[in-house]
Amino acid sequence: MKRLVSNNRGQFLIETVLLMVLTIGLFIGASNFLREKKILSKMIGGPWEKVSGMIEAGVWASPDQARTKHPNQIKRSLTLDPEQL
């Protein structure tokens, strides 16, 4: 049986271009969706608050709450007897 299409290179080229267009379209759509929903910023920003509190004050909390729990904020008195603390 004789083939009707003898030029397979043209079909391969068209299929490749269509796949590239589809891939680029999906990539642009996904990036727009992620940008609109701010999913990436929530993944990075949420945990960063607690890490920031740990960096600033040494407590796993948001920076505002961690500042009040910093060891520097504890009222200390000068005494020789540790039971009086």
pLDDT of 17-45, one tens digit each?
999 999 999 999 999 999 999 888 888 88
Contact 61, 55 (CB under 8 A): no
Instruction: Using the predicted structure, report yes or no on whether residue 85 has a pLDDT greater than 60.
Output: no
State the DSSP string of 14-61: HHHHHHHHHHHHHHHHHHHHHHHHTHHHHHHHHHHHHHHHHHHHSSSS
Share of the chain above pLDDT 90, in %: 28
Q: What is the arithmetic mean of pLDDT over 68-77?
A: 72
Q: What is the arithmetic mean of pLDDT over 58-62?
A: 86
The pLDDT value given to residue 1: 56
Phi and psi (nearest 5°) for 56? -75, -40
Cα separation, 15 vs 11, in Å, equals 6
Contacts (Cβ under 8 Å, ≥6 apart) of 14: none
